[in-house]
Amino acid sequence: MKILFIGDVVGNPGRKAVKELVPAIKKEKGIDFCIANCENAAGGNGITYVAAQELYKSGIDAITMGNHTWSKKEIMNFIDSDSKIVRPA
């Protein structure tokens, strides 16, 4: 199994880079599963539902979070129901 792990996806520029690059990289390298740290994916701090869905559609299979997990209050509405998000303990 080939796994691609992407470091910190930051804001719109990071999400744009994922959208533009990840599908081709997955295809070219035969990647089976892609994980990305996305704790700063929305405005450079935290993540929103819309940002998470955009990342999934761009080829991210799982999202890891970190110390900015709770920066966007909106995450409380979906973090427990999204089985693709790995949050800190």
- Opening angle at CA 7, ends 38 and 42, nearest 5: 25
Residues in the chain: 89
pLDDT at 89: 81
Tell me if residue 40 is catalytic.
no
- Catalytic site residue from 34, 36, 63, 68: 68
pTM of model > 0.85: yes
Euclidean distance between CA atoms 6 and 49, whole angstroms: 19
Q: What is the pLDDT along the chain (89 residues), one digit of tens a residue?
A: 999 999 999 999 999 999 999 999 999 999 999 999 999 999 999 999 999 999 999 999 999 999 999 999 999 999 999 999 999 88
Can you give the residue range of the structural domain that contains 27?
A: 3-86
In the chain, how many domains are there?
A: 1
pLDDT at 77: 94
